[in-house]
Chain A
Amino acid sequence: MSVNGEERLERYAELAVRVGANVQPGQEVFVHGLVEHAGLVRALTRQSYRAGASYVHVMYSDQHIRRAMIELGPDEALTYTPAWLKSTAETTEGNAQLGTTGNPEPELLADLDGERVGRAIPHESVEIYRELHRKSSINWSAVGAVTEGWARQVLGEPDVEQLWEKIAFCMRLDEPDRVAAWREHLDRLDARAAALMGLRPDAIRYRGPGTDLTVGLLPTARWGSARFRTASGIEYVANMPTEEIFTTPDPTRAEGTIRASMPLSLGGQLIRGLEFAFEDGRIVHVDAETGADVVRGHQANIENADRLGELALVTKESRVGQTGTLFYNTLFDENATCHIAYGFGVPNAFEGEPDERMNASRIHVDFMVGGPELEVDAILADGTEVPLIREEAWQLDS
């Protein structure tokens, strides 16, 4: 491999800008990243200007500042949305957005009061972004940012190069024509979604160790890949990598129990061994080996955080899954295996306005449920069960 690190970084950023957010000439671009992600944030900024951006707004965030607020600040600070932050969110309308993930210190807040950590959300700006997503008025993408801290978490040592190689593989940077490779990949996922929709399933059933859950579907919600289109017609890929097909379920119909199959990094804490029990669509019981309070804080304080918002199916062709790596990062881990989200639904699952039944919570938290033993079936209106996934292999024809 003759590509040096700098060139790889620029190629990676170019892919995120051109295929991911698909920044259009004349658009403003908002780049959101942690201070530790400065290297990638700078490359995304350069590539956005090269793609014709009229201005790039760089919005760094810092978990240590957030920690100071939660640990030392007054109660009111936790949910405060500054006017400038609202203005930032409003200005994003009609523009492009790039976000970086890959937490260098995923357990930074582990020793803080979980209830306070769960409550610390600037609701007003979250609400604005939610509305922009509902109206499909942002072309955006999220990509991973390699740091020593993240490498240590994933590999047990700060081997940044090894983490880069895994991510480059997941991102198809090894393909001779990366743009074409991404197009083919997304076409495959869309064909799979079409085959599933052809069944007109009424519900999805999950069975496995600690899991027997049935989730009802909304008749108008589609299955699809993360390749979306804004209301103004800009095609974009919201997550890179992406290996899933997903839908937004009926938030009033979930029965049974489900066990997460991977740890989940959430609000600066690591949630291990998460288990939910559902009745009538609502989470009635939360268990976890660590971090249960953060999840319970969400359930207690945020309306409809106790109902589902997303179901996503991933199989073993996944490049993320093929790395055999636990990334401790939702963007990657959710593309390694099947996952489910509680909270806000996915408006992109609808053509036009979302069904009014879609979960309208202010939060969206993905957790991984897939694994070799998970069986996923489609339940048709007449009760027939059609196998979708067995031993992580897709069971339908496409």
Chain B
Amino acid sequence: MDERLERYAELAVRVGANVQPGQEVFLFPAVEHHELARALARQAYRAGAAYVHVLYNDGHTRRAMIELGPDEALTYSPEWLKTFVTSITGNALLATTGDPEPELLADLDGERVGRAVPQELVQIRIQQMTENTVNWCGVGAPSEGWAQQIFGEPDVERLWELVAFCMRLDEPDPPAAWRAHVASLVERAESLNELQADALRYRGPGTDLTVGLLPNVQWVSGASDTASGIHYVANMPTEEIFTSPDARRTEGTIRSSLPLPLAGQMVRGLELTFEGGRAVLVEAESGADLVRSHFATIENADRLGEVALVTKESRVGQTGTVFYDPLFDENATCHIAYGAGFPFLADGDPEGVNGANMHVDFMVGGPELEVDAVLADGTEVPLIRHEEWQLA
């Protein structure tokens, strides 16, 4: 048995989702992730899981649906799948990322690819996030295809080494290292909360964007507690502090700094222009139709749901690697998401938090990006310069 794989899975189960004895555990791996899925199942049972549900997904059968299936299939949420997703409430969830073929759908009609979202299922998951009823974690699953995408060759071992570094598996006591790391992120979030900023301003090449913030919505780290008090780390790795902005107040233009694999297509050079909180213009070198299709077919997908700040201490950033995977790339650098926000951050009043049935992160950070907090009196306080954190 691969010991590194088991230790990795154990960290995801015990520190990430923090599976409790007697909980059921739900896994959503890609078929190509079966080695990790099996290790996660073993570790979940070792942690006392009552049952481990595994639902494999497959980019190729999804491709067949979009390419060959009828229109109605695109948005269909089968009854059994609704039951599956609903059953996650009160239980634990482990998701795997690292698309083995991130451009599998590149030649398909972007409008159709963008429309292919089982919205009822997404709605159930968002409800669970809103009520914070699921302790969950997303982790990367190295595969030949993913390594090929990153390095131009299927060097899985090299990818494993990077992933292990990002996951702090090199530390003598990884769970303790994770506790210390999360504590430092919490501290950073609290220093920003103390500023009581009214807005964030991003400036950089192709970027000048102001995003309004909500007075009752906190900045937090990627670690949180379920409504029933289970402490979990939703993303591993995580290097961000984030919040949900006021979805009604976004003005200006922002340019993405990394390619974004999205629903089987690669979005390159994404630029969004906002007026009155809405994206009114979408430009991209590739994949623009897919993003436009999201904005056209999913209510409020054209408004923001998340702003997240990452600096150069990030272990993911330190690898100097573009992972072509949101979980890793969004923890290398600052990012923003269009679509759903996080109502559970809103202290009971989610007014202004985006309730879309979709959430798509894209990366905006880099050495030239300047991020400021704009206070109520108009004062601008530098938060990030040259990828360094500026607050005390």
Question: Which A residues are within 8 Å of any B CB, using their own CB?
Answer: 31, 35, 38, 41-42, 45-46, 49-50, 53-58, 60, 62, 64-65, 68-69, 71-74, 76-77, 80, 82-85, 87-88, 90-91
Contact = CB atoms under 8 A, between A and B. Distances in A.
B68 interface: yes
Contact of A72 (B45, B61, B76): B45
Given A55-B78, A62-B38, A82-B87, A68 B52 contact: yes
A31 B45 CA distance: 27
Nearest to B70: A54
Contacts of A49: 64-65, 67-69
Contact of A64 (B34, B51, B73): B34
B79 interface: yes
A84 B38 contact: no
A54 B61 contact: no
Contact of B78 (A76, A85, A91): A91
Given A38-B60, A82-B87, A83-B87, A53 B69 contact: yes
A64 B41 CA distance: 9
Contact of A62 (B34, B69, B80): B34
Contact of B84 (A69, A72, A84, A90): A84
A177 B105 CA distance: 34
Interface in B39-76: 41-42, 45-46, 49-54, 56, 58, 60-61, 64-65, 67-70, 72-73, 76
A56 B69 contact: yes
Contacts of B78: 55, 57, 91
B51 A77 contact: yes
A179 B84 CA distance: 39
Pick the 4 closest A-B CB pairs, nearest first.
A72-B45, A49-B68, A87-B80, A60-B56
Given A68-B52, A69-B41, A69-B52, 9 more contacts: A62-B56, A64-B38, A68-B42, A73-B45, A73-B51, A73-B52, A76-B50, A87-B83, A88-B80
B69 A55 contact: yes
A31 B65 CA distance: 13
Contacts of B49: 73
B31 interface: yes
The B interface, classified by DSSP as helix, strand, loop or mixed, is helix
Contacts of B72: 54-55
Contacts of A64: 34, 38, 41
Contacts of A82: 51, 53, 84, 87
Interface residues of B, number: 34
B80 A77 contact: no
A68 B41 contact: yes
B80 A58 contact: no
Contacts of B80: 57, 84-85, 87-88, 90-91
- Name which of A68, A72, A73 has the most chain B CB atoms within 10 A of its CB: A68
B195 interface: no
A6 B380 CA distance: 61
B60 A84 contact: no
B81 interface: yes
A314 B45 CA distance: 44
Contacts of A87: 79-80, 83
Contact of A42 (B60, B70, B76): B60
Given A56-B69, A91-B79, A68 B58 contact: no
Contact of A83 (B34, B37, B68, B83): B83
Contact of B45 (A56, A57, A69): A69
B64 A56 contact: yes
Contacts of A91: 78-80
Contacts of B51: 69, 73, 76-77, 80, 82
B61 A42 contact: yes
B345 to A, nearest CB: 30
Contacts of A55: 65, 69, 72-73, 76, 78
Nearest to B46: A72
A76 B64 CA distance: 37
A82 B86 CA distance: 12
24 contacts: A45-B64, A45-B65, A46-B64, A49-B69, A55-B69, A55-B73, A56-B61, A56-B64, A56-B65, A62-B34, A65-B52, A68-B41, A68-B42, A69-B51, A72-B42, A73-B49, A73-B51, A76-B51, A80-B51, A82-B84, A84-B53, A84-B84, A84-B87, A91-B80
